[in-house]
Structure 1
Amino acid sequence: MTHTHDEDPACEVAHGDAPAEEAGRTLVAVFASPVAGCLLRFGAELGFRTFLLEPDPARHLDGFAAARDLSELDGHLDATADVVLTDHHREEIGPVLRDLLKSPARWIGIMGSPRHTGPHVRALGDLGVPPEEIARVHRPIGLNIGSRTPPEIAVATLAGLLADRNARPGGFAF
């Protein structure tokens, strides 16, 4: 069956004949890192409201202002927020995740290999966070496309968030 792009809203958007819908989502990248920079740049292009949360004032990401704590996100950490921790080696993982889990954020994930237990599990347990709350932290994150570089990791992560936003499973299963 053939169709004209007038019959397919996605096709209309792709051809520039219709505006893309507002995403209505917020993306918070936690910890200044090369992956965070890619997430913020690509996420803005995909319609996310983007923010960087970096608690260490000595760390920065060129071109991006950073909130130093959750209160500085000025109400943007709401039920539309997707939060990605971009460094699983930081000492602040436990306290940052504990506070994020108290927020109304819709989705919280941390980068890391599925072959190892995430350091966040112990860090949160040591802070007294109950196991059912720890289980809200997604890991691994993103689509399994063999990502190795910061841009590839950001693309895989954002593709997973887009699939979720669009109520799709991701991958090539239709």
Structure 2
Amino acid sequence: MLFLIAAVILVGLVCVLDLVLTLGVIRRLREHTELLKAVENPSHDLTVGDAIEAFSVEDVEGRRLSADRLPAGTVVGFFSVGCQPCRAALPKFVDHAATMPGGRDQVVAVVAGADAADAESLVAALRPVARVVFGDYEGVLPTAFKIKGYPSVLMVDPLADGRLVVTNDNVDLSRAELVAAA
């Protein structure tokens, strides 16, 4: 009988220990969820409906690019030289841009970096499907679009009054049908 009582007490203690450890794991998972939310901040300060500052720049081909000349549903992607997530997102962006109904005139790609030689491979990959602008991290377009991190992809539309607004602040590059619906 004494053996049975000891076994029941031991099983009870193991169950209480298991409960305490499980509650600790749940608490840590909640902490990690909060930390991940903090890390997953968007790489820009714009949301749907926000206006883009007026800008005027030249693309790498010497053509003028300005806020009032972009067609509806234009996708604007921001990439950085030496950025591994940018290199990983590049093929998806190129595939997505190739499906745009307006062709490369409806896609703008901004390559940010200090050295044009380092940006050559990015520019070469983007040129067939987008109008490419090269500049520094504090350049005209990253400033106008309030870019904080790379890569970042937005969709914009002009309004009747000439302002350019964000219509999609998180373009899903794996779903080309989003563009067709816009």
TM-score where L is the length of structure 1: 0.31
Higher-strand-fraction structure = 2
Higher-helix-fraction structure = 2
With a CA cutoff of 8 Å and minimum separation of 6, indicate the structure with the bigger relative contact order.
2
TM-score where L is the length of structure 2: 0.30
Q: State the structure with more CA Rg.
A: 2
